[in-house]
Structure 1
Amino acid sequence: MTARDDGSVRHVPVLLNEVITALDLREGGVYLDGTFGAGGYTSAILAHPGTRVIALDRDPDAIAGGAPLVAASEGRLTLVQTVFGEMEAAVDEQGVGLLDGVVLDIGVSSMQIDEGERGFSLRFDGPLDMRMEQVGESAADVVNTADEELLADIIYNFGEERKSRYIAKAIVQRRAEAPITTTAELAELVASVVWAEPHGPHPATRTFQALRIYVNDELGELSRALHAAERVLKPGGRLVVVTFHSLEDRIVKQFLARRSARSSGGSRHMPFEVGEAPTFQLVSRGVVTASHAECIANSRARSAKLRAAERTHAPVQAEDETVMSLAALPERRFRKRRR
């Protein structure tokens, strides 16, 4: 965690003890933290004797903020600004060979949410941005240029919002009068279409989530990162992933289930086919969730799910099209009719 100038905590890593346990740290091991953020997981890994960490983050602010930790690490920490889907290239550049562990904390960081000017937050008004890398197409670009059907598809599939068609229609009507440029404008517009539930989240929460996922291709990066982790881990190396909503967890669950199974394609209509040797062995069945005490202390932990697996000696498999498809918008001709 880090502290603000007023002494308040800026970021608390979720499931920290559980992550470190699942990584099964080894003295002298080399680990990759694919989502550096404020360095919570990285700091805990470096506290283990002789470990080395390659930490990635697509956000230039996170990389700049990690400079003091790099200086204190005495050469054991390397920060790289890149997406975690490109971890293989980052590892190759460091010349360290195969890794002992990879940890990923998926989604937006609390630091980004707390900075209104980044455009992620419903609590603070700011420009409608949401770009983790601070370059490329912004949420405002999507909201003001995407056609109504695409907007509805994004909000429905990446936000699981049942009122997606109504929200998309309202956006198109409003932007015809003037561009929608701030988070407050969009939040107010969505709230005029979606009724607030008593004691529930803000009505625009799912729409903001959908736009953020789309702008940053978060699910695509996750799918690519899981396959890359298979390539960069040594036999016995651990993959640990923490997710915060069902879309992310579904991809991780499917990937690990398919990579840890010896057979595939079975049903009551067709017999099981012998598949390739499993590349991962599950560390534990099901998911690991936060303790009651952690949930009380850190509300972000309430939705966190940890899944972990250990790399086997089996050869790397080709990318799984089923897993990759979970990260994409479905083809329009197959999309279900939305309310």
Structure 2
Amino acid sequence: MPASITKVMTMFLAFELIEEGKLSPGQSFAMSEQAYRDWYGKGSRMFLELGEVVTVETLLLGIANVSANDGAAVLAEGVAGSVDDWVVLMNAKAREIGMNDSHFGTPNGWMDEGRTFSTAHDLALLAREMIARHPRLYRFYFGREGLDYRGVAQANHDPIRGRVAGADGIKTGFTNQAGYGFLGSAERDGRRLVMVAAAAASSRERRDVSIAMMEWGFDAFDSRGLYQRGAYVGEAQVQEGAEQTVPLVAAAPINATFARGASSQPKLTIRYEGPLRAPLEAGEHVAELEIEMEGAPPSRVPLVTGQAVASATGWQRLRNGLWGVIG
């Protein structure tokens, strides 16, 4: 149970909408009667009053840094029309990025009889996608000392910020059912790690385990850059397209991580279900790069189409068929 770590999906979805031009940090939403009844005085909050109008930027700062349950509900209603409709968007986005073992029932992670659940793998994937896709927004909204809003100063309970060099987020969570959890990240010398801790018995145990895990990650592993974002990685075969192949490029910077002292020569394999069928848009996630390193299980990272491929005309289909016979 991710508890308030659920709010990272709410933040990620908001970041996606901002980048798509469908949401602006300068927009404002009001605390509705429904949100007030459901969330006033409930758990971590920004102390929003009935009818209070708040900008999206302030709501996001409250959600990211003081875990505002009320802020998450106001944002959800304001953007999607209702909390339920926002949750539909959350689950669609989770499926889109490959969070196959997760489901969200609320925008803030409040206890909901088990409808909200996730895995360490999925939460790490969510963190990676959010930071890789939206580094500017991530740096602006996450990792602050806290929030001072309407005269109420609250501290950020991030257990590694200020204690681990390079730590800059992400989100804690706690309910009686879930225990104390943390989705964290830190960056040193251009190398970023993400960690997940769950079901700790106390906030102190969460802090100690999180610090130890992050330091171990930097000490025990090395990393080697393979491809920059947008770099050409390979090609995929295309069926019924104006082109017979499409370039595959890195959706985000790709690194190989390996145990310190192990061989640093990775085995790279492009995997996709093909041939792909035209038409294809640029930037579609159609393949994965499998990275195998000595002493570690294989990992996979997404590859996207480097250009659009239109459907073949009649002449192009004939040409492709002849090439297929000759080839």
The normalised TM-score by structure 1 is 0.23
Q: Which has the higher strand share?
A: 2
Structure with bigger helix share is 1
With normalisation by structure 2, the TM-score equals 0.23
Quick check: which has more Rg, 1 or 2? 2
